[in-house]
Amino acid sequence: MRNTIEKNNIPVEIINSEDKYMLKEENAWVDYKVFKKQLNQINEVTEKNHIRVKHILDLYTGHLFGTENYEWAFNKREELRFLWMIYMEKLSDFYVEQGKIHEALMLNLKMCDKLPNNTLVKEDLNKLYVLIGEPGIE
């Protein structure tokens, strides 16, 4: 991690304290902070904010340190994944209410891709397929 930070000139200080490493940011751009802050300002998806919500959700490109098994990142990863999922569902519900079934389908396919073992996501996807007259997935 230290090599990556130094190689990319990221303005973060690494502090060793009590046999633990901490990252101290100094004006570093951290997408997860923007993602979380922006979504926490939105209670519901509306006609006025649905495009903004979609842009915020697009910041989520994958689970935080998803391929690594960092114990310290687990809670943060789960918090962000859960927040992403909640707002993806809210946006999908908005699209269904607006009759934009194909947009809702695309969101649910993206959720299925990132959460392949989530049965609720698969159930929602199957409901959408039924709405357009297509067979569901297993």
- pLDDT for 13-32, tens place per residue? 677 767 766 665 554 445 66
Domain limits for position 53 = 29-131
Given a contact cutoff of 8 angstroms between Cβ atoms, the answer to whether 111 and 85 are in contact is yes
14 lies in some domain? no
Each residue of 58-116: pLDDT tens digit? 877 766 666 566 676 677 778 888 888 999 999 999 999 999 999 999 999 999 988 88
User: Cα-Cα-Cα-Cα dihedral of 67, 69, 71, 74, to 10°?
Assistant: 30
Strands (E), 1-138: 12-17, 20-25
24 lies in some domain? no
6 lies in some domain? no
Domain count, the chain: 1
47 lies in some domain? yes
Given a contact cutoff of 8 angstroms between Cβ atoms, the answer to whether 82 and 40 are in contact is no
Instruction: Write out the two tokens for 62.
Output: 């994958």
12 lies in some domain? no
pLDDT value at residue 35: 78
Non-local (6+) Cβ contacts of 99 within 8 A are none
3 lies in some domain? no
79 lies in some domain? yes
The pTM of this model reads 0.72
11 lies in some domain? no
